[in-house]
Chains A and B, each alone.
Chain A
Amino acid sequence: MRNLLIFITKYNAFFLFLIFEISSLLIYVKYNSFQKATFINSTNQVTGNLYAKVNEFKGYLSLKDVNDRLAKENAELRNQLRSSKYVDTVAKHSVTDTIYKQQYTYIEAQVISNSINKRNNYLTISRGSHDGLVKGMGVINGQGVVGKVMFVGEHMAVVQSLLHKDTRFSAMLANSKEIGYLQWSEDLNPRKGLLGEVSNNAQPKIGEMVVTSDLSLFPAGIPLGKVSKLTTKGGGFFLNMEVALAVDFSKLEYVYVVVNKFALEQTKLEAQEIKPDE
């Protein structure tokens, strides 16, 4: 027993190393596999507030850019207004529209922390469960798809960015409607994505838009990027291609969280379907 104690005190560095290494790896593995919201992330009081403070300062620097983008978006939305279209029939009916009901609503949120230079990137936004956010909601901005909500705190949430090794969104080619999936390219370029598993019948052209498909958690048709290069890597039964991403991740300021009214119903149904029936 005494020898054991002497042994342990002599090599105390090694044993201390083992203890701390194992505990940190446990934290790492647990957090990654179960995706539990722990207190060690940027939605907690201290880190969240610090990020928010610094962001307030930085906000002024990019005001001009944000204004330009908002103005452009406003113009686009204005174009879609009914009042900016003319009617080319003579008789004008007023129709109460009962066919269309709102399926998606949007919550605007400010990005208070963001990164683009790691293998797995996250952003923190200024809305949380208090504002109706739930894990798994999609996040977009005026340019296109940004990511999906991962952890929800009371007043803040962490979003798993498209620039993450586990992020995959169902996508389609805008013209041919061929479906595939989009993920971040492996060389960690924040402007490049990879569109994979497109059927061989598709004939994509360089410059063709890639948009979200009906299968994704976003409304169909939100831009993801443009086809920039046709590669044959992987080959086989599927086509792969490089996509220039629509969103400039280095300049995210404001984003919209997509609330899908039917999301709960859909996940419930799909969970049922997956269960094996004996």
Chain B
Amino acid sequence: MSRIILINLIRFVMLVLLQVFLLKNITLYNLSTPYLYILFIVLLPFETPNLVLFVLSFILGLTIDAFYDTPGLHAAACTLLAFVRVLFISITVQKDGFDNEPEPTLSIMGFRWFFTYALILTLFHHFFLFNLEVFKFTEIGYTLSRFLLSSVFTVFLMLLSGLLFFKKKERK
């Protein structure tokens, strides 16, 4: 238990630092900006209580907001992300038998499931984030293309990190 908390704490700090000092400065063709920090919420253990999940998402959002000077924006998007995560997991994963599969990672859940999971969560988060940030109907076309290309970038980075920390299955 304490190991899981420690791992998640380290992940939180590392992802925030990575997002704020590296990814914040990256843009491809003024269109695609990755928001990899949501990987923290994506990778929280299955059995996280809902209250803890929402509180952590909210705190993560506010932390990113503090660095981006946009209080509330990322917090709102992260809260939505947490909600979509609860729904998605309740639909696709059966609730029993998580003794040795505590986290929704690429190595445990397999490529197909993880890809769908990451893609859907990222799409919701980015769609909400970009539209709330711009909040102008006249620029909708441009915002949508930014949203789509950024989502592709983020999911790509997520899969990459999944492969980077790939653990061989412990089950025989």
A13 in complex: contacting residue of B27, B65, B83, CB < 8 Å: B83
The answer to whether B142 touches A187 (Cβ under 8 A) is yes
User: Does B33 sit at the interface, judged by CB under 8 A?
Assistant: yes
Q: Which of B22-64 contact A (CB under 8 A)?
A: 24-27, 30, 33, 50-51, 54-55, 57-58, 61-62
The answer to whether A17 touches B69 (Cβ under 8 A) is no
**Chain B nearest CB, measured from A116 CB (Å):** 7
The answer to whether B70 touches A120 (Cβ under 8 A) is yes
Number of B positions contacting A (CB below 8 A): 40
Known pairs A12-B50, A122-B69; A117 contacts B30 (CB<8 A): yes
Q: Which residue of A lies closest to B55 (CB)?
A: A20
The answer to whether B30 touches A47 (Cβ under 8 A) is no
Known pairs A20-B79, A28-B76; A118 contacts B50 (CB<8 A): no
B24 in complex: contacting residue of A13, A19, A115, A165, CB < 8 Å: A115
The answer to whether A25 touches B72 (Cβ under 8 A) is yes
Q: Which of B132-156 contact A (CB under 8 A)?
A: 132-134, 136, 139, 142, 146
Q: Which of A36-57 contact B (CB under 8 A)?
A: 38, 40-42, 44, 46-47, 50-51, 54
Dominant secondary structure at the B interface:
helix
A27–B66 Cα distance when bound, in Å, is: 12
Known pairs A24-B61, A42-B66; A188 contacts B75 (CB<8 A): no
Q: Which residue of B lies closest to A114 (CB)?
A: B25
A26–B62 Cα distance when bound, in Å, is: 13
Which of B55, B83, B142, B146 is the most central at the interface, judged by chain A CB atoms within 10 Å of its CB? B83
**Chain A nearest CB, measured from B44 CB (Å):** 14
The answer to whether B79 touches A17 (Cβ under 8 A) is yes
What 1/0 mask marks residues of chain A from 108 to 150 whose CB sits below 8 Å from any chain B CB?
Answer: 0000010111111010100000000000000000000000000
Residue positions of B touching A, CB distance < 8 A: 20-21, 24-27, 30, 33, 50-51, 54-55, 57-58, 61-62, 65-73, 75-76, 79-80, 82-83, 86-87, 132-134, 136, 139, 142, 146
Residue positions of A touching B, CB distance < 8 A: 12-14, 16-17, 19-21, 23-31, 38, 40-42, 44, 46-47, 50-51, 54, 113, 115-120, 122, 124, 158, 165, 186-190
24 contacts between A and B (CB under 8 A): A12-B50, A16-B51, A17-B54, A17-B79, A19-B54, A24-B79, A26-B72, A27-B71, A29-B72, A31-B71, A40-B71, A42-B66, A42-B67, A44-B66, A47-B66, A115-B68, A117-B24, A117-B26, A117-B27, A120-B133, A122-B69, A124-B69, A158-B69, A165-B134
Kindly list the 4 A-B residue pairs having the minimum CB-CB distance in the complex, ordered from nearest: A28-B72, A27-B72, A117-B27, A24-B75
